[in-house]
Structure 1
Amino acid sequence: MSNNDRNKVLFVDLTSGSIKEEEREEDLWRDFIGGAGVGVRILYEHMKPKMDPLGSENML
């Protein structure tokens, strides 16, 4: 695996069956201490406040 592959995030929409690959900056992994921290940051960027927890827009 090249270093470039480690900076990618894969989004899978189970409803539509679509898959989207997004390249992220390398600093993200260091600033948020990898794995769980990066996951929380991505959710923060893509979800709106007070979103319906069971709604179709919820990423989880």
Structure 2
Amino acid sequence: MRTSSFCSDGSCVGVAIGADGVRVVDTKTDGALSFTASEWAAFVAGVKAGEFDLP
């Protein structure tokens, strides 16, 4: 699992990439979201394109 480089106080986000897709984990609660590889690729493309930038 990769953890955000912005993690400093234990409130972290981790990403685990596996054969069945991608899991995004909240390290405080162990809650997780699961995505297929194509869903994750679309999300990353949106982030790179600035679609989620704050106004």
Larger fraction in helix: 1
Larger fraction in strand: 2
TM over 0.5: no
TM-score, scaled relative to structure 2: 0.33
TM-score, scaled relative to structure 1: 0.31
**Structure number, greater radius of gyration:** 1
Higher relative contact order (CA 8 A, sep 6+): 2
